[in-house]
Amino acid sequence: MNELEFVTKHRRHLHQYPELSLHEYETTQYIASFLDSLGVHYERPLDTGLVAYIPGNGQKTIAYRADIDALPIFEENDVDYKSLNDNVMHACGHDGHTTALMLFLQRCKSRADAGTLPQNIVFIFQPAEESGGGANRLIKAGAFEAYPIEAVFGVHVMPFVEEGKVAIRDEEITASATEYRFFLKGLSSHVADKEQGHSCGEALQHVLAQVGSIQQYHLNGLKRNIVHMGRFEAGEAINTVPSQGYLEGTIRTYDTQDLAVVKQQMLKIAESVDLLFGVECEVKFAEGYPPTYNDPSLRKHVVTGLENAGLQVVDKTTPYLFGEDFSFYSQLAPSYFVFVGTKDEQRGFVTGLHTAHLNFNEAMLIRIADYYDQILNHYGEVQAQ
């Protein structure tokens, strides 16, 4: 089978059988069977996902990562490889990331068998990117302790960048993702005696207004930040003063100082609620993914690799404001993450990530493997410059 047949076969199989974060059992077995057929060593530090290793001739060890999980989305594409799992879809392109890494791994195994693989390679088939922080789970499980990894590389398909182009950016390229939750507790009373109560409805209106003003009054207007209010509610019955209130949302920022400002303002808002309304208010934060930081020392590897693979480099001036758990790999070694364009208006490949119509040209997966190859081929040379 040629490489286009390879990527088409594997990507479409993975696309038909998507699995949610931390439930990628069949996906993991599919990849494991592929590795078994090649005789490649791998380990399973977690219940799902795996880490493979192929030794080369050099002293350097570099890693490549693909995420393998899908999303709780009902697919609306009219294709013969449509998801067979109800309300689960590879709507973020992870089936493509996985397939491209499988192709690259097959190439590396052939080179290793021929004695021409220049460096040691770690292949990360990572679970739970969408939720669960699979990258961090693997690190905490000691999945990489046996490997002296010098650099980690990864890609993501991007339907808003034209096919053949790749968006890159030194330093932060994706935002941190932090969840917040306000819990309000007041005093109920009958509406006829509403002054006897402490209304969480009134208090929640105050919280909503103040949270909504953080971006306008407390953050640099030239920076991109999101303070999003996702769900809120208050009250128990139509004729009583609300005694309970709740607000939850997400903060997206690529500047840790901006994140600190947002959290500090929210703490002040919570304190003000009791003073103004006699309502207890607590805000809690759930730390998500840190910003994905692209180490500038790896830029030459990335640019050289992309250009040698026939891809056009596009420098992105500002980070994307979504979260990405590739960010955790910077704990291991310098890392670099790029966005490979898949936009093709003639074919209708124009819908965004996390949508029911996401699709792309599988031939681009060969180009991703070419990029990985070029990094491998020139890693030592670029290091020496």
- pLDDT tens for 332-354 read 999 999 999 999 999 999 999 99
Q: Are residues 212 and 322 located together in one domain of the fold?
A: no
Average pLDDT of 37-64? 97
130 assigned ligand-binding residue: yes
**pLDDT given at position 210:** 98
In the listed set 244, 268, 287, which residue is the last one of a domain according to the structure? 287
**pLDDT given at position 195:** 92
How many folded domains does the chain comprise? 2
**pLDDT given at position 221:** 85
In the listed set 231, 255, 287, which residue is the last one of a domain according to the structure? 287
Each residue's pLDDT tens digit, 259-271? 999 999 999 999 9
Each residue's pLDDT tens digit, 279-324? 999 999 987 899 999 999 999 999 999 999 999 999 999 899 899 9
Each residue's pLDDT tens digit, 355-364? 999 999 999 9
Q: Are residues 256 and 356 located together in one domain of the fold?
A: no
**CATH of residue 112:** 3.40.630.10
pLDDT band at 382 (very low <50, low <70, confident <90, very high): low
Average pLDDT of 55-75? 97
156 assigned ligand-binding residue: yes
Q: Are residues 94 and 139 located together in one domain of the fold?
A: yes
In the listed set 266, 287, 308, which residue is the last one of a domain according to the structure? 287
Q: Are residues 86 and 8 located together in one domain of the fold?
A: yes
Each residue's pLDDT tens digit, 91-145? 999 999 999 999 999 999 999 999 999 999 999 999 999 999 999 999 999 999 9
Q: Are residues 275 and 328 located together in one domain of the fold?
A: no
Average pLDDT of 364-375? 98
Each residue's pLDDT tens digit, 31-47? 999 999 999 999 999 99
Each residue's pLDDT tens digit, 172-181? 999 998 999 9
CA distance 371 to 305: 5
pLDDT greater than 80 at residue 214: yes
**pLDDT given at position 106:** 98
pLDDT above 90 coverage of the chain, percent: 93
218 assigned ligand-binding residue: no
Q: Are residues 296 and 279 located together in one domain of the fold?
A: no
Q: Are residues 151 and 169 located together in one domain of the fold?
A: yes
Average pLDDT of 58-62? 95
Q: Are residues 184 and 283 located together in one domain of the fold?
A: yes
Select the more confidently predicted residue: 254 or 229.
229
pLDDT band at 383 (very low <50, low <70, confident <90, very high): low
**CATH of residue 255:** 3.30.70.360
Q: Are residues 332 and 252 located together in one domain of the fold?
A: no
Q: Are residues 157 and 51 located together in one domain of the fold?
A: yes
Average pLDDT of 188-200? 92
92 assigned ligand-binding residue: yes
281 assigned ligand-binding residue: no
Q: Are residues 151 and 51 located together in one domain of the fold?
A: yes
Residue 297 lies in domain: 3-173+291-384
Global pTM value: 0.89
pLDDT band at 275 (very low <50, low <70, confident <90, very high): very high
Q: Are residues 259 and 315 located together in one domain of the fold?
A: no
